[in-house]
Structures are given as C-alpha cells and as structure tokens.
Structure 1
Amino acid sequence: MGAWKRLEVSTSNPVRSSDVRKLRQELLLQEAHWITEEEVDQILPHSKSKNIILVKCSTPKASVYVVEQDPVLFQPARSSLYYPTVYTLWKVRRWPALETISQVSKFLLGGADLMLPGVFRDDPALTWRATQVIAVRVRGNPCALAVGTTLIGSDSADKNTKGKVLAVEHFFGDALWEYGSKAVPNRGFILGEVVEAVPGDDDDDDDNDRNAGGEEAGLETSTMKAGEAPPPSRNDNAATTSASSTVDANHAIDEVAQDLEAQHIIDTAETENERALDVEPDQLLIQSFLQALKIHPSLALPIDASKFYTEFVVPSRPAGTALDLKATSYKKLGAFLKAMVKRKLIKTKEQRGAILIVEVDRNHELLQSFESHNSAAFSASETRESQSLAETERVIHVEEWFKAKPHQRAFLEALAAGMPSVMDAVADTSQGAEFFQSDQLFKLLEHYVRAHGLERPRNIVEMNEDLCSFLQCAPTGSPRQLPFRELFDRMLESMEIWHRIGRDGKLQRGRVKPIQVIVEDRQGGRKHITRIQRMRVYGIDDQQFAADAQRRFAAAATVSEIAGSAKKGGIPDTEVTLQGSFADEVVELLTGTYHVPAHLAEIVDKRKKRGK
C-alpha cells in the first residue's frame, strides 16, 4: 500500500556534486541489469543549471531527490532501495513494469496493492524476482501509474493464481506526486479515477520513445496539468476497436475481472476499513496490549516480551487495522513496556539481553475498565490473519533449558512427581536426567514455597534446608530470607544451561550464542567492512545470505571460512564479509527476512573512535 498519504518536509538542501556521483553509482548498481549510464544521467542530470535537492521527510520517513520541481527518486527510511517516481518513469520508460487492465488501475489509484490475477502473464519473456523495484502500467498506455516492490518472483507466480504480487510504494495522484508539478503524462490518466489505454500509443511504438530524450518522452507532461479535461480522441471508433482487441487477445481476461470483483476488491475494502478505523498508533498499541492481557488471563509468566508482542498483542489488534511499533511515539517495544511499568500495570526484568514480563496487575484500573473489542485474530473478514500467524511460525525457534546437577535431581524429581501437569511439555530425558524450562521451574518453585508455608510478607521466602542444599549455600553468612525473584534467579544460575535451536534440534550444552555483526575499520578508518558470523548455527545458508545482502545493499559480499573454527575434523564455521558499514541494515535483514529473534542478532562495533 502506498506510503504517501501525506508529505511533511523536515529539511531541504542541495546535494553536493560528490554525493550526486555516489547516488548515480548506487542507482546504477541497484538496477545494473537494465539501466544505462545515459538513463541515470537522464534521472540525475550533470548540468549545473539543474540543482538536485535532497528533501528529508518526517511523514513518511523518507529521502526524496528533486530536480526542477519534480521529485525523481525516493528512498524510504526502512529500505536501502531507491524508487523512481512516476515523473521519472514517464521519462525513462524502459524501467521494468508489470501490465494490468484499466479496471484494476482504479484500485491502485486508491492505494491498494497489486493482486496477481490482475497481471497480464501472457508474455513468456516476462520475469521478475522477489524484492525487485518494478513499475505498473495499463496495457495500451506506455506511461506507468505506480511503482513498488515485488513480494514474490515470477517463478512463484507461475505456481499461484491469487495473492499479492506487488506492494505499491507510490502512485499517480498521491502526496508525492502532488509535491511535484502535478503533471499528467497523457490523456489516458484521469486523476483519482482510472488510467486508460491511449489509442495509437501502444507498446509497439514505444521503442522510439525509449530512445528519445526526456523532453520528447514528456511532451504531454509539460503541457497538460491535473484538472484539465483531456482532449477528445480523433478516432473514437479506433479507440474502441483497439481496446476491445487488446482484451480479446487475452483469453483469461474475463476470469481476471471476475476474480477482481469477487475476491480481490476485499483488499480495497480492507483499506477503507483501516481508514474508517483511523485510530492513533499509540492508542491502537495500548488497546491491543490490554486486549491481549484481558483475553489471556492465565498467561504463563515470566514470558519473553518479544514473544508476547508477536504471538499475543499483534493478533489482538482491532479487526481491519495494522499494528506498527515504529509509527507510535514509543518507536520500540522496550520504551512502551517502560511506560506500562511506570503505570504499574506490569513488572519487567532484563535477563541476558531479553526483556521478560514477570508480573501483571490483573486488578489494575486500566485493565478492569477496558472493554474487549473484535480482534483481528477472531475476525472472519481479516484476511491477513493467516499471514501474521505464518510469519510468527517462521521465526527461528530458540529454547533455553536447565539441567539439574547430581545433588539437585532428587529434589526436582520429587517436585515434578507432585505436579505432573507442569512436566507435560518436557520432551527430553537424555543422560538419565530431566531437562526443565524456566517457566516449569518457576511453577515448581512457587508450588514448593506455598506447600511448605515458606511465604513471608512482601514476597519474601524463608529458606529451609532443602533450598539451601539445592543452592549449596555457605553454612554461615548466607541470608536465611530472599525475595522470590532472587531465589528463582539463583536457582537458574545454579543449574547447567543448555539450549536448542529449532523445534527438532538437538539439545546442546551452554547458552545460545547470538549471530555477531562486526563492523571494523579499513584503510585507517576511511573505509569499513561488516562481518557476519554464526549464521550456520541458525540454519542460514551463508551463500544465499551473501547474495541477498549484495543485492539489497549494493555492496560486494564474500564468504570465507573462519580459521581454526573446525572442531575434531568437523565442518568449519564461515563468515560473510560486506564492503561498507551496514550493521543496522544487516540486523534488519536477519530479523525481517531470515526471522532471527531480535535479541540474537548482536552488533559489535570495533571501529576506532575518532579523536582518541
């Protein structure tokens, strides 16, 4: 869905010539498979009389490059890709494009994404890859009406008949178009309504336009403004014949139209619902958080905050809405949780780099007065529910387990025998000793303290001989009373720590080690490299990751073995090296595309601080 519902400028400054050269190189690298230096010069001219202005936008967060009043390129803050605007696409018509029909264009101009049934696929030479910047145009009109990023490649599209194929980032008539000259490329464009085929200006005649200069390709752009009535066609009969022959040529067009009306208009309906429910992002987050607590009264605590947000808060959002932390004033989950702690709704604790929710005040006025809403997870009309759940399931599953030491086994086995329901989830009993997860140990300890009357005011526990023996307390000098949380933490620290990556993985001794993203200086600090290690442990193909990173960041990427990493003749570990500083971008790629939990992607900055 296009992000340019409105445009608010933060700063606006001319771009230095050195930065323009760098920008040209980056654009050429990104689209090197088709774009030429001449076409890059057409987008970003060398002429000193044509200043290139960099506009930083606060809403949405993006960088926009403007040449002679018209925006020509933009780069969302969340992406490393450059996108051409429609003004650029009308000049450089060779940009790859998916073709659709006029009936679909009205939905695209309303902000909807492009659905697969609305795309012409009768050309066997038409191929594209996932995450490619690609335009959209109506068959019979050479000028693009939108641009976005492909969600699936053409190989996957051949196996499917439904679903989204392109996430639209910008379209004719949105706020970014309004920021420019508000030009209209030809009489087929009707602002806010539809894009139609233009008689006598089809793809066969497009080759001349592609080789022509920007002035020729944009003749009607400079003469027709938004709001002007398009001139009458000189041959309406010819127009009708041309349009009908185009439709008749595609034997599946009727099915496409039916699918659009019967199913994929739902996408536009959802867009309208989101606008109708136009809830402030902060309020939406709070509502979803309270809903998750309300409908899960027996939530097992402590729980990882990231897991709680992904598996409980997101599905609890009101039906027809999209939850985006970055759109809120909190920006990050940690900041939001601190606000909830300040309001005394929850209590949290940081443990090994992860935030745990350890307590919820079920009697809190905020929670008691909250009225539940129709959540996305329970709405039959919410078509994106399955996608959200599937996304959750794709997150790499990492478990931490605790193994009893010899002197602790009898104590824990006795506790477990008295609470078989707590032990139902235990699946690994290797080496003759049971393994426990932290939530199981929490419940066992809580049951033991209550059963033996060891509770004291203010959540203090009176230590007895069994607990002292379990923790191997010193005979003298050890406290006889401890807060329950401290006692539980000491319990975990006294046991052996193991971990498992993947639901079917094997238990391994020690804590799980995060993927390291290391940034280092090169050439005395003038250049940098980014090294990524420990990906193989998480089942990530290093060669595939290197290819994805090279394409996404337009940076050279190599894969090499880590010297001395092979153990007892085993397979050595590898690392991916990127030329440039891309720490934050790599973490975003790991967590977003490869579904690594955020707390397991660690940035290590080894660059020397200047001035020291």
Structure 2
Amino acid sequence: MFKKAAAVAFKGETRIRGKESKRLHQAVASTAGDEIAAALFPNKAEVVIRKAGGSTFQFIFVNGECFYVQLDGKAELGTGELLPTLQALWRVEADALLPSVVIQRPVAKFIFGGANVMAPGVHSIVPTKSCLPKEGCLVAVRAEGNSFAAAVGRLRMAPNAIVGSKGEAVEVLHFFGDALWEVMGSPRPAGFIGDQIHPTEAQEEKEERGVKEEEIVQAPAPEAEVKDMLDQPDRDMTHMIQNLEECLLQACKTRIKDRDLPLPGNVLYAQHMRPCRRAGSNIDVKATPFKKLSAFLSHVEEKGWLALKKNSSDPIVTRIFRDHPDVTSWKPWPKEATAEVEESKGTDSSPTEASIQIEVVWRIGKLKPLLEELKTEAADGCWTREDCAAALKAYADSHELWLKNNKKRIGPDALLCSLISSELEVQSGQSYSLDGLADDVLRTLPLCHRVTAPQGGAAGGFRRYVRPGKPPVVQVRTDTRRGHHVTLIHGLEAYGIDMQALAAELQKALASAATVEQASPTQVAAVMVQGFWDVAVAEWLGKAGVPAESILQQAKKGQQQKKAKQASNIVKA
C-alpha cells in the first residue's frame, strides 16, 4: 500500500482540535482502552491531518509522528477504519492495539521486501486483551522472540485454520522498509539488523527458561528525562557519551582557537568534533539520551568546560575554559589517527560520507565485433572512456597495429575502421593516437551516465543502474521555509536516486537536519537542509561523484554560506 514514495507525497496539512480530536481519541480508546489512547494522544498534543496525492487516505500525525492512517478518507475523522502505523505499535505495549500474527524469524526478510505472509511461515497468533482475531481484521506481524511489529496487515484466513495449512494468511499493508516507514525517519527498534530480526535479550532469557512466546510481552522503554537516563545508561549510550566528550576535548585542544569564538554549535560539531574523532569510530548525539546537540552542550557547560550564549535559540559557544582540570589534563591522540586524515588517504578504515558515484559512460552494443575479438564483455553493457581506451590498446597490441616508425600511433584495420564509420582510413593510411581513436569510437555510441546510489528500505545497501544522456544538472540554492534558513538541492530525482536515503547521508555529512521537501504542482521534490550550506553541499556533491559541470550553485543574495573566520594578523608566505 505504501511501497512507493508517491503514496506518501503529502500535500498540505490540517490541524484538528475540539470535537474531531475528541472523536479520534474515543475511537482509539474504544478498541485499545483509555490508557493507550492517552499515551498516543496526550493532552495538548498537536494533531495534524495530511493527505497524499492520488489517494484518499488520511494520515494522522501527533506531535510530528504518524500514528494512524484512516483508510476511508471520505468518512469523518475517527469514524472510518484506523490503521496503526509501526510508530504507534512500537510506542505502546506489544499486542495492545492489534492482535499479533507471530512469524518465524527467517520469514522477516520477505516481509521487508513487501511480500504477504503465507500460512507455513506463521508460528502462532496472539490476541489482544480486549478482542480475539478474526478473518478480515487488522493484525500486527512480528517475529518470534521479538515484541516489535515488523508489519501491519489484514488477516485473510480464519485463525484456527492458519497453522499447518497453505495459502496467504496476512495481506501486508504497511511494513518495515516501505515509504511510510522512511517518512517516519527510518527508525530501527531493538533486534532489527539489516534484513533480519533477532530476538531481544529479555526474550532470549525467557526462552531459555522455557517460557512460551505467547506469554512474553515486552514494551519499549518509557520516555524519561535526560538526567534520569544518565543515571543508568546502557553500554552503547555510555560509550557514545564518552566518545562525544573525548572528541570535544580533542577539538578544544587541537583545532579551536580563542579567535574562532563565538562558534555556532553545529559548526563545532560538523567541522571540528566529527573530523577529529578517532579513525574507524563514529559519534552521533542522537544515539545518546541527549538526542539534541543543544542538550549535550548544556551538559558539558554544567561540567565547566565551556560557556554558551545566554537566551539563544541555537547553541553558540562563547568561551572555552582551558584551565579546567579535564581540559588541561587531556592528552590528544595523534593527528594521523583521526578520521579526517584516514579519509583523505582514501583508506577503508572509516566509511566515506559521500556514497553516490556518477560516471559518464557509453553503451557498447555496436562494439560487439571488438568484444568478440577481445573475448570480454561489460557487466552493464557500458564503458567509460578509460575502459574504451584500454580495450583499443589491448586490440592494437594483439594485432600489432602500432606503426613501426611511431609506436604512439595506431594504423586501424578494417574492424576499427568499421567502428568509426569510415572505410577511407585503410586506403589513405591515416593513423590515430590512442586517445583520438577512442574519441572517434565513442562519438558513434549512445552517451549515458552510470549511477551508484544508496538504497533505502530495510536492507539498505547500494544499487547501480544506467540512464541515457549526459548527467543532468543539480541545482543548489538557498531559501527560507517558515522563517528558517534552508538549502535546497533540486535535480537529484533525475538520477533516480532514493531521495530519503540521500537526505540521510547528507544529514550525517553536515550534522544538520535534512529532509525531502515533497513535490507540489508547481515544484519538483528537493532535498532540504537546515541552514545555509550551499558551499558545503556543492563540495559534498562533487566528492560524491556528481560532475562539477553538472552542479549549478545559485545562492540568493545575502543568503550565502558564511566563510570560516580567520585572524587578520596572519600573513601568508
């Protein structure tokens, strides 16, 4: 139902209050109880209804998160059938909203691909506290040993007839890895690794003691304040907090000078802390209880390491207390051991942030006689200019076509003459340089471009494909959205790139929020980055593989990315 991005291309939104909000709350309470309804629709929550082009569904967002989809968009809100999203199912106790169809864990990878649940893959069925499942009702699909739902679907068989039978048991409507999941930020609950679902630790312990799957109920950890979570963080959070603090100390000791202050928090994080982290490591403030950079910087301010600008909406570092014992006692690791140096060497010790590759290629169908002579082929039927030159050199070497009096020029034979659409060269004795011959051969072939781009969905990874024509132009410009400065990247959809996956890569590279601005009747979709990043985005696209001549940078007057400050007393040699 939500496999394609067009199914969730939202157009506008409507905020609801009063009777509609109350009716929606009552609809959820009637099936799940008042406690669950209050957890999903808390008091004074901002409830927004969005619709997508080409469908009548009503998507119900609560405080920015999509919790329900009303399948009958023409009915009054709360009166039609409500489909809980994975976000809602993960927020409350397992089996609190819908009955669960428990599948065997190896079946999960097929569900992630959008396949329906077949009866042989069903392990058991777990009812809710208030109702029993029946044919035609909505059910949650989760894997054995893990309480987090992997999909939501409609039961197509009687529950007592599923186990031991054949056929389609559940029609999947919404699954982990579809476009709606990507709109929600592509979250991964515990145990969801790649295209597999692993049992959670609590489940494994109970299974070892012989507890049945139907008796196991595990809910996501309740939300708590940052200070409460810091008292007893898990190992991963403790390690990530330590990495953030060490990278901040490293940056203060090796990169940030007093003349650089005041320094915006996002610049501190993106241009100083991330580059100076240890090679092969990673830092992510979202993987800590702080969640936001401002909370982390407030935390280190309390420790006495630095001072922040008062009454500022965005964190700005105004002073670093270099005489603090933690700062003075910090011993930086060598510059050669930082991720910045390792990445500049092109090593594999740290994954590159720019993971798109775009190459100019030519289709070589016409070169079949040459391929047969060389006994070679291209995987995707295309060659780069370097591939073509290498093949021509190998052919000239094997057939001794180099001129005896000039070993840098080739005397083409009948086969090469046919490739450049001319038969006069043999008679006239015209010769070619290797580069000139490659240019003449490629001139007769269809021009294309090859794209290797990150793939969205549950499995992730990359995919490669070839598109006709030269690489399209990518426009980078600045603008404002609802009073906020943003940078927009247009034209990437022409490459067939997964826009959500690219936005996630760009967000990691710039340490600034990046989303996909949905298309409107007058405007195509664009990747939107918070802040003015026109220079950084253009550089990132160039490193990613977009040809420099295909990047059009058009920042509005007065909205260009600011240059890094430099002391005026520095004299260049």
Normalising TM by the smaller chain, what interval? 0.3 to 0.5
With normalisation by structure 1, the TM-score equals: 0.32
More helix by share: 1
| TM-score under structure 2 length normalisation | 0.34
